[in-house]
Structure 1
Amino acid sequence: MLTLYHAPNSRSSRIVTLLMALDALDRVDIRLTDIPRQDGSGARDPNNPHPEGKVPLLVTEEGEMIRESNAILLYLTDRFPSDLAPEVGAPGRGAYLSWLFWYGNVLEPVYMHRLAGLSHPVLSASFRGMPEAVAYLAAGLDGWAFLLGDRNSVADLLIASPFLWFPEATPDVPAIRDWVARCAAQPCIARSMEFDARSAEEMGLAPA
């Protein structure tokens, strides 16, 4: 059985959300773990084998560790095929992969730089800025309900996640606001939030 190391209300929450969307939650052993958090709470869990003590971490039956959200999402959608992700060779596979890795390579760094108040020509040249990222996302949604067309996908789950965590950060662009609302309305989002609330209570953590 696969093993997921998960900290409630963290980046690993979107992995739980995907497992629920795939109806594969019972096929993965979820081990709750603590992590150091930005507000100073939490601590590294010695039982978490992630080399940096972070989450998410997925461990295969063979003991191979898979880190980073987009790598885990890609592994799981290949492992459990569904209409949430195009299979290898299917139309839309290229766009799907591009959006998954655009999140980690561009959007999250740009978002974190903005959150930290960092600005430097090297950062702008390497990652672009938030206005460029927002424009790119809006262009990708132009005329479409979701990033891959008329159906929700794992790319939407991943890229919408920071705006679902922090709604006030959602760009004031109609196409993006409406898309975030459609992503938030997916049943797996509410179920994942309920799962995290129960998990946090089980661990004795303060409500998110």
Structure 2
Amino acid sequence: MILYHSPYSRSSTMITLLKELGAPAEAQVEVKIVSIRRSDGTGQPDPSNPHPEGKVPYLVNGADHVRERGAITTYLCEAFPQAGFAPMPGDPKRGQFLSWMAYYQGVMEPVLVAQFCEIDHPAYYATFRGLPEICATIRAALEGQDYLLGDKYSAADLLIASPFLFFTDLVPDDPVVAGWIARCGARPAVKATAQADQAELAAMT
């Protein structure tokens, strides 16, 4: 498998995921660093990146290609089930896990992009709601437990917490949600990815 990655981007979460999945994943998934066009207009798409839109992350496994973080997270967790980082088919929490993957892609990303672009429209809000509702959904899931799926950190926490760790001004004034974000951010894999991103970005400039 080959994971296409650019430092300090959405694909950094997938680098952290590989670390959380352990040595087998890091040994069997080759990481290729590519350039991308960033939201501030800097950078250029890399011709060596097979993503049809020049984005990251992008996972290639032979003839199989996977895009979008929710899908890649699910794919890699199933490829390395021994890590126990996500409920597998048949697990009673499998539905919750898949729901969080879809919620990130289908609700969180649109809401966060709309907020960044200062988009405000009744139809948009009626469909996706806003950041307060996202935080309320997370808080409800954390009722009586430390993580989204229970007392154990999982790939669901990794993905859902990722925008709050990247854009710290999004962290809500809610001790339950803020505490969960802090626990997610304290993971050694998160810190290791940040260090690697810094070194890789320096090497690219």
TM-score, normalised via structure 1 length = 0.94
> What is residue 184 of structure 2 aligned with on the other side?
183
Matched, 1:141 2:142: yes
- Paired residue for 1:27? 28
How far apart, CA to CA, are the structure 1 residues paired with 2:143 and 2:115?
A: 25
| In structure 2, distance between residues paired with 1:155 and 1:84 | 9
Match of 1:16 in 2: 15
* Consecutive unaligned residues in structure 1, runs of 5 or more: none
C-alpha separation in 1, matches of 2:97 and 2:8: 25
Supply the distance in 2 between the matched residues of 1:185 and 1:91 (Cα, whole angstroms). Answer: 28
Q: Which runs of 4+ in 1 moved over 3 A?
A: none
Letter in 2 for 1:20: K
Report SS of the residue matched to 1:156. helix
Deviation string 1:71-129 (CA, Å, 9 cap, x unpaired) is 00000000001221011101211111111111111112111111211111111121112
Q: Give the CA deviation at 1:25.
A: 1.3
Q: What do you get for the CA RMSD once the two structures are aligned? A: 1.0
Gaps of 5+ in 2: none
Distance in 2, matches of 1:134 and 1:20, equals: 27
Aligned to 1:55, the other structure's residue is in SS state coil
* 1:115 matched residue in structure 2: 116
Matched, 1:71 2:71: yes
Tell me the CA shift for residue 147 of structure 1: 0.2
Name 1:48's counterpart in structure 2: 49
Percent identity of paired positions between Structure 1 and Structure 2: 46
SS at match of 1:5: strand
For residues 51 and 201 of structure 2, the distance between their equivalents in structure 1, rounded to whole angstroms, comes to 20
In the alignment, what sits opposite 1:173?
174
What is the aligned length? Answer: 202
TM-score, normalising length: structure 2? 0.95
